[in-house]
A and B are shown apart, each in its own frame.
Chain A
């Protein structure tokens, strides 16, 4: 069956360090992979999109990598800040059948 796994445990890091979140998937051939941020009680907010033929994408302090051979994406937040504390979701855009799958999310806490 289709499966998307993100960091199984919540992630706590010190302010200023780099946070690295993982997204592993099986049985998919996604055309796109997206990362979202979700704060409690609110809808997800789009952060970055990376295409299957791209290896890396950057936006300010954010960096996403996409390895279709390993079926893995890594999401990095450099110089992390307490305001980065949230749940981060990866999402796969499957071309076949126009379906969209989210992972379970990783809760990130940045400690001042």
Chain B
């Protein structure tokens, strides 16, 4: 059984640029959620996808968008990057919406 993987591990961007982060869900999982975690804070829910449809969204602006593909892999896109977007971005997959979540190792994004 393959766990949740994320790419890239680290990323450095400049303010105003766009970024795409990728996540491969655990085998058999049809739900993926994305989180932003600032240093010393708990993960903040960005959104969740279930069977390729956005299923729930946290308090993040529309420049945060996502996709889930038929193989249940997923992307997080962030446009017009701001300095405050610097954080660890975590992807988590689960089987069905309300089950335990399996997290990937995260992508560390730095915006300069």
Give A contacts to B, CB under 8 Å.
Answer: 4, 31-32, 34, 36, 42-46, 49, 89, 91, 93, 97-105
Contact with A along B70-112 (1 / 0, CB 8 A): 0000000000000000000010100001111111111000000
> Is B103 touching A43 in the complex (CB atoms < 8 A)?
yes
> Is A89 touching B42 in the complex (CB atoms < 8 A)?
yes
> Is A99 touching B58 in the complex (CB atoms < 8 A)?
yes
- How far, in angstroms, from A104 to B42 measured CA to CA in the complex? 4
For residue B3, which residue of chain A has the nearest CB? A43
> Is A42 touching B42 in the complex (CB atoms < 8 A)?
no
- How far, in angstroms, from A102 to B107 measured CA to CA in the complex? 19
> Is B42 touching A98 in the complex (CB atoms < 8 A)?
no
Number of A-B residue pairs, CB cutoff 8 Å, is 58
| Chain A interface main SS type | strand
Q: How far is the CB of B46 from chain A (nearest CB, A)?
A: 10
- Also in contact, A43 and B45, with CB within 8 A (given A93-B98, A98-B56): no
- How far, in angstroms, from A6 to B4 measured CA to CA in the complex? 27
Chain B residues positioned under 8 Å from A46 (CB to CB): 100-102
13 A-B pairs with CB atoms under 8 Å apart are A36-B103, A42-B106, A43-B105, A46-B101, A46-B102, A49-B100, A89-B43, A98-B56, A99-B45, A100-B33, A100-B56, A100-B58, A105-B42
